[in-house]
Structure 1
Amino acid sequence: MIDVLGNKQLRNHAYHLYYVKERLQTPTYSLISSFCSTSHTDECFHPKISNSSSLHLPQPHPRLSMLLSPWTSLPDHAADKIDRDRKEPETCTLSPCDLTLLARWCATTYQSLASDGRDAEIWRSLIVQEAMRYPPLLDGILALSALEMLGDCERDNAQEHKQDEQQLRYLAMLHWDRARAWLDSQVKSARPELTHKDSNAMFALCNILIVFAFGHSQIPSFSSRESALEDFCDIFRQLRGSPEIVVPLIDQVQQGELASLVRPEEARHRLMPDTFTLAIHGLRKMNNGDAERSLDPGTNSRSTYSQAIDCLSSCLRYIAWSSRPGLIELSWLLEIPAGFVDLALNHQPIALSILAHYCVVMYHLRSQWWMGDLGMKLLKEIRQLLGRDRSGDIQWALDAVAIDGDGSAR
């Protein structure tokens, strides 16, 4: 049995998860079909989709309309399996499709945020328990599970799975929209200081939304661009705003159950040599040079670059001394000035050079499905944009990612 039955609400759905466990042995794309085609549905407790979202939601497949139908009653034999001595009536609050996505999270998707076994139980169990009382966090969990299943389905590329892809695409964006809309409203509203539990839930949700933004770019049907730079800048824009609150939340969760998510564990052997300090020094020297500054229009570009370099230095130091790469390294995207992305899209040399060094961070996360080879692709594109005359400015990054002078991987 999947180990998520430690709280009361999940025990109420145990009979669903029992059957989900059996289906987890089959290809993932069959899960949504099997549940969405069932004649039993229940009511969803989620609010309506926000009309303020900038993302367009595709129309759901007709089979998904049943998700809004009321649940009639629990089967007697299923209730007996949960607790034969239980006398109070059972109440279902999740739809069959949502339960399928939740089971997927508990089986595999939680690993998207747990780079090793140390944090696995936090994301598989503790965060799920938080989500049972925190609907927006549950929406984030379901969104990422649907996105991961969609990626598996599209990679399979079988014609008979096109209908499943449509359903998963809709569910991923549906739950993403709900989670992001709620987070936007909380950030914009004046509210007192968050409680410890609220901080944990919001921190977890922000991390899930960060992973979703990267994973979104890895799904072919969501990203038709051929430019890795444009993909990265799109991710950057998605993460500006609400998810930025993850930075101050880091201090609030350091003393609680999620402390291991934000505290680096010193490695016995460094993952990266101290030469990154020389690379940072070179970037600062480049930014302070009069000749270099003249290439970048705008009076604020120097301060923008200085802030980006300072944040990058902390990020690379974390990689060098940490036992494993983690989500905390992605906070660089949330700390640099918003104007940096425009400078990068305008192919300003210093902006591209700074970004090339950040590609090393993404390269260290390449084993995650939601990151893939984005770091490698972006670094190669930056090298082409800078040309051979300026490739020396990013030589440290090229060496760290093992790219030869001609742009090919070693």
Structure 2
Amino acid sequence: MAPRRSHKKSRTGCQRCKRRRIKCDETHPSCGNCVKHAIACDFSLSTEQLRAVSQELHSPSQVATTGQVIPSSSAPSPATPLPPPVPTVPQSSASLPTTLAPIHQPNLNVLDLSLMHHWSIATWSTVSNRDDVQQLWRLNIPTLATQHAFLMHAVLAVSAMHLHSTTTCASARNRYLTAASQHHERAVRGIAPCLAHISRDNCDAVVATSGLVAIYSFLTSRIAEIGPADAAANTLTPIGWVPLLRGVHSILEQAQSWVHHGPLSPLLAHPGHALTPDKLDAETERSLQSLYRLCTDLSLPGADELAATDVSTAYFSAIAELRKSFATISKWDSIVSAIFRWPIAATDRFVQLLLERRPRALVIFVHYCVLFTLVEGFWWATGSARFELERCEAILGLEWRHWIDWPRKQIMEGRGGFTEVGS
């Protein structure tokens, strides 16, 4: 008989190999024999699991996970694979809370999400026709809106009105109009406390919100579905949006130094344009000049008001500024700013006369409305010129109608009434 081959005994082998009385190669994390038989090696087990394996191997019974005692006769053989080891929490994570506090958050408003989505894909590009200002409404305004709730409401209100204007379904239009009204009301309430305390931190949000509120008011002044009470008020009070527009300019002037160094600085940029008389065609020039006679001829009805210096001065100033507005529209990117320049440049006294529905002020205002025909392509301006014309005609007496023949013709034909200069 050949001599027995000597070997080195393993005294630190795994429990499985010791139980089967075979040599363990002591490979970590699982020895070769356990890998061969596809069973869990105690080298890879935690202290608790190792203790359980030891009890299994040395006791006549086995405790199952269900808490029942299984007799040794029915216990699985040592080669039966054990369940995978349960991960343990590292000591460094012992300080972490074992349970998280519940998050109490209202359900997502799908309509508001759709309004924000529509703003991000469409509405932002319709607020202005200047590229730099468009990018401001696309990028900077939504970012500001996440920090100021009143601005977010103003954004959603205008977006809802945009959808209202482009939707033909009656139920959808009502839904968008209701949402717009609610968001507008929240925007106005939210911004009110800030108007008396404009600061570096809130000036951008206040300016942007004021502009959106003015757009909303300009648009809704001619929306028939806003309700009987509101519709009646709009009919009796023309140009209710003019004071709001002037308020935006006042806020912008108050915060000018801060806005100039902030993300809304493009709003302060005014493209230079020559204000020379030859930019107007003869017919337009003649019609605007006739307004001076309207405010100087003492034989015309209501001439007594011209004796007041503040009244006559307000009329002359409004006519001069109106001519500048016609003259400054020479390029596409200047149209919107030039159109809304006149209500801002007019004096407070003239706006007061306009709100009082003085005939001369209304005649001058109808001439101004001719400019709206140039922006009919903007959803927020569609139909605005004709609407303001009809509203003023309903107030003016027959003796004043011939003074608005030229603007009526331009508005009904949809022409600006002058030759556009530039490209």
- TM-score under structure 1 normalisation? 0.59
Higher relative contact order (CA 8 A, sep 6+): 1
Q: Check the 8 A contact 1:287/1:293 in 2, yes or no.
A: no
1:106 corresponds in structure 2 to: 120
Q: What does residue range 111-122 of structure 1 map to in structure 2 within 5 Å?
A: 111-115=125-129, 117-122=131-136
Q: Offset of 1:129 from its aligned partner?
A: 1.2
CA–CA distance in 1 between the matches of 2:255 and 2:322?
17
Q: Offset of 1:292 from its aligned partner?
A: 4.3
Q: Offset of 1:240 from its aligned partner?
A: 7.0
1:30 corresponds in structure 2 to: none
1:168 corresponds in structure 2 to: 176
Q: What does residue range 78-97 of structure 1 map to in structure 2 within 5 Å?
A: 95-97=109-111
Which of 206, 214, 220 lines up with 1:216 in the alignment?
220
Deviates more, 1:367-376 or 1:381-390: 381-390
CA–CA distance in 2 between the matches of 1:392 and 1:185?
47
Which of 347, 354, 362 lines up with 1:352 in the alignment?
362
Deviates more, 1:243-252 or 1:100-109: 243-252
CA–CA distance in 2 between the matches of 1:250 and 1:357?
32
Q: Offset of 1:262 from its aligned partner?
A: 4.3
CA–CA distance in 1 between the matches of 2:396 and 2:238?
17
- Secondary structure at the aligned position of 1:290 is classed as coil
1:139 and 2:153 correspond? yes
AA matched with 1:114: S
- Secondary structure at the aligned position of 1:372 is classed as coil
2:191 corresponds in structure 1 to: 183
Which of 258, 269, 275 lines up with 2:264 in the alignment?
258
Change (3 A) 1:244 1:132: same
Q: What does residue range 313-324 of structure 1 map to in structure 2 within 5 Å?
A: 313-320=323-330, 323-324=333-334
- TM-score under structure 2 normalisation? 0.58
Q: Check the 8 A contact 1:127/1:204 in 2, yes or no.
A: yes
Q: Offset of 1:257 from its aligned partner?
A: 4.0
Change (3 A) 1:172 1:380: closer
CA–CA distance in 1 between the matches of 2:406 and 2:387?
16
Change (3 A) 1:217 1:281: same
Q: Check the 8 A contact 2:151/2:205 in 1, yes or no.
A: yes
Which of 174, 187, 211 lines up with 1:207 in the alignment?
211
CA–CA distance in 2 between the matches of 1:203 and 1:284?
36
CA–CA distance in 2 between the matches of 1:169 and 1:206?
20
AA matched with 1:203: V
Change (3 A) 1:170 1:228: closer
CA–CA distance in 2 between the matches of 1:301 and 1:267?
30
AA matched with 1:258: L
1:283 corresponds in structure 2 to: 291
* Gap runs ≥5 in structure 2: 1-101, 415-423
Q: What does residue range 246-395 of structure 1 map to in structure 2 within 5 Å?
A: 246=251, 248=253, 251-252=256-257, 253=259, 257-265=263-271, 273-275=279-281, 279-292=287-300, 294-295=302-303, 297=305, 299=308, 300-320=310-330, 323-327=333-337, 329-334=339-344, 336=346, 340=350, 343-344=353-354, 348-379=358-389, 382=392, 393-394=403-404
* Gap runs ≥5 in structure 1: 1-88, 405-410
CA–CA distance in 2 between the matches of 1:265 and 1:92?
47
Q: Deviations over 1:242-283 (max 9, x none)?
A: 545345258544565434444344689x9x942455544432
Q: Check the 8 A contact 1:356/1:397 in 2, yes or no.
A: yes
Q: Deviations over 1:212-234 (max 9, x none)?
A: 01221343311665999657434
CA–CA distance in 2 between the matches of 1:274 and 1:92?
60
1:129 corresponds in structure 2 to: 143
State the percentage of identical aligned residues.
Answer: 19
AA matched with 2:382: G
CA–CA distance in 2 between the matches of 1:91 and 1:105?
28
Q: Check the 8 A contact 1:228/1:381 in 2, yes or no.
A: no
Which of 156, 176, 186 lines up with 2:169 in the alignment?
156
Deviates more, 1:112-121 or 1:211-220: 112-121
Which of 230, 247, 250 lines up with 1:245 in the alignment?
250
CA–CA distance in 1 between the matches of 2:246 and 2:356?
22
Change (3 A) 1:309 1:200: farther
Q: Check the 8 A contact 2:234/2:240 in 1, yes or no.
A: no
